[in-house]
Amino acid sequence: MNPGYEILEHPADVGIEARGPSLADAFAQAAEGLMSLILDPAHVAQRESRRIDLAASDTEQLLVRWLSEVLYLFDGCGFAASRFEVRLPAPASLAATVYGEIFSLSRHTVRTDVKAVTYHLLNIEQGPDECVVRVYLDI
Amino acid sequence: MPGAFRSVDPYRHILPMTYKSGMRIEGMVYADAELLQHIESDLTCEQIANVATLPGMVGRSLAMPDAHQGYGFCIGGVAAADLQDGVVSAGGVGFDINCGVRLLAADADPGDVRDRLEPLLSQLFRDIPCGTGKKGALDLGLRELNGVLREGARWAVLRAYGREEDLSRIEECGCLPGGDPELVSVRAKERGRTQLGTLGSGNHFIEIQYVSDIYDAPVAAAFGVRQDQIVVLIHSGSRGLGHQVCTDYLDLMHDGMKRYRISVVDRQLACVPVGSTEGRQYLAAMAAAANFAFANRQMMTHWIREVFRRVIGDAGLHVVYDVCHNIAKREEHLVDMSRKTVLVHRKGATRAFPKGHPALPSDLRDVGQPVLIPGSMGTASYILVGTERAMKETFGSTCHGAGRAKSRTRARAGISADTLLQDMARRGVLVRGQSKAGLTEEQPDAYKDVHRVVEVVHATGIARKVAKLIPLAVMKG
């Protein structure tokens, strides 16, 4: 099993399928996938970090809230994240440190605007050796 | 799914309540045979049916000829809810609240601009920020932003972005009443604060076009449009502010559904009763976001006028009309033979009110509401007019554009940006975009045939053709 993410086709927008040995890893990979849609991650240095703590009523809502938070960090706070350390200390609860830097048009190669994270065809599979999450984004 | 529909005529196809358990009303798709095939090939049918399961929906769950799979509601979907028994769904409006289109008509002909398209586009790119990460020229303080959310386009006009007479030619006069900045989250405001006066990206654009055909001369004249006139079409929405409002309220509605004991077949259809606290809060926040979009298009109007003035001289550029594509409105319609106020969700659909409707400005009341249909990049756009038939059948609604036919991945794989630019140049269209990937994703083949879509709405009578517009230059985010 190779942890990572894959971009999925959609008639109008785009999806991500992310996998990891644990659910927390899959969440981290999904965030990498999201940011890769917005910017080329190769040019995002890890100069600073931000802390994110979230709770939700279930894992699906947690995933949407997590990715929405990463998106808000970029679009609302101008912070481009490229590495994600995620822990899920309790069911539907997340604690993460994200590493990146302040967004700069001159330093970073932009790809596309992501408007929002959706629940459309959202899926979370948790197996003994691998977790896979699938989520679609409105672009 | 093929075979799901029962066709009542070549363009009207019913999705029966037997299609899916839980449907409370029928569905109806407006499409010709080819467009119907597209519709049957993705999840659009399922989404029409899912919307029909929502509490308190009246009439039919509708899909326009440009319909395609969306989230929860299909894009090109229209559905109306009873105010007492029905629900409001943030997904029924979409993330880009008041994504919409504005048309400006210039005192100019193609000969006045043909040699000046490059400098016009260059200056537009300099003056109107577009694309990912670009900030607007204004960095609004909270009080000013709250003013935008309350007043919409009027906020901009009062600050000399445009003219008083622009306002009557905007849906809702550029301000949806009830916009409450207190119900817009801090993070939505953080996203929107630096984005006022920006175009956005994806399928947002500014196009310089000319009027190639007039189909209805008296109506065109009333709209202020003539043969061979240069026009400018703006397609843009509420930017990050609207996207965040929808995200916030979808979350709130998920939690609210438990309280109201509503369950939905698709989580993206999260909804609450129209009259509930959450429902009223959403509609007030949605109105605020809609007003942000109206102000946004108003500011871009002002800058477009300045660009034209600088490059070719004063070109007038009066507003023909400005329509919303993603919105929910309280409107009076005929339901089961009696008039009642319902909440109409339009997600990728356009209001199309007929002549005589009180919502129209006095100078359009004798002809009807302009309906603006942008085609895909480099193809034609259309001006239509609203009709009584739309009021009877579609809650006064019609299509909004061409609708996507190809995923963005396949569109990018199909053609390089350089080839696309050469193709466009051969068609006589100058294109500039912020990103090459963005350009290829928006190539004409990625969309359905706008001519087909417009022919269907014209043939069914839910809007009527007035004019055709051919592009000369495109600015894409």
Fold of A4-138: Archease, Possible Chaperone; Chain: A; domain 1 (3.55.10)
What average pLDDT does range B414-439 have in this prediction?
77
Interacting residues of B113 by C-beta distance below 8 A, sequence separation 6+: B120, B208, B230, B312, B472
**From residue B131, how far is each of A52, B239, B339, B437, B477 by CA, in Å?**
27, 11, 44, 12, 4
| Model confidence pLDDT, tens digit, residues B251-308 | 999 999 999 999 999 999 999 999 999 999 999 999 999 999 999 999 999 999 999 9
Q: Looking at beta carbons, which residues of chain B come within 8 Å of A119?
A: 71-72, 250, 266-268, 270
B191–A76 C-beta distance less than 8 A: yes
For B112-132, give one letter per residue: b (16+ CB within 10 A) or e: ebeebbeebbebbbebbbbbb
AA letter at B210: Y
Give helix then strand counts, H and E, for chain B: 15, 19
Please give the Cα distance from A66 to A50 (Å, whole number): 13
- A53 within 8 A of B246, measured Cβ to Cβ: no
Alpha helices in B233-354 (DSSP H): 239-259, 277-311
Q: Which residue of B lies nearest to A14 if distances are taken between CA atoms?
A: B408
Query: With 80 as the cut, is the pLDDT of residue B435 above it?
Result: no
AA letter at B26: E
A110–B132 C-beta distance less than 8 A: yes
The alpha carbon of residue B174 is apart from the nearest alpha carbon of chain A, in Å, by 23
3-state secondary structure of B218: helix
| Model confidence pLDDT, tens digit, residues B401-417 | 966 556 666 666 667 77
Question: Would the ipTM clear 0.90, i.e. be above it?
Answer: yes
State pTM to two decimals: 0.95
DSSP structure class, residue B190: H
A112–B201 C-beta distance less than 8 A: yes
**From residue B354, how far is each of A48, B328, B433 by CA, in Å?**
57, 19, 37
| Model confidence pLDDT, tens digit, residues A80-138 | 999 999 999 998 999 999 999 999 999 999 888 899 999 988 999 999 999 999 999 99
Nearest residue, CB atoms, B267 vs list A115, A119, A138: A119
Class level of CATH domain B6-405+447-476: alpha beta
Domains of chain A by residue range: 4-138
Nearest residue, CB atoms, B95 vs list A38, A108, A138: A138
| Any A CB within 8 A of B438 CB | yes
Q: What are residue B96's DSSP bridge partners? A: none
Query: With 90 as the cut, is the pLDDT of residue B349 above it?
Result: yes
Q: CB B334: neighbour CB atoms within 10 A?
A: 13
Nearest of B385, B384, B442 to residue B408 by alpha carbon: B442
- Assigned token pair, B161: 């972005």
B95–A12 C-beta distance less than 8 A: no
| Alpha carbon of residue B66 to chain centroid | 12
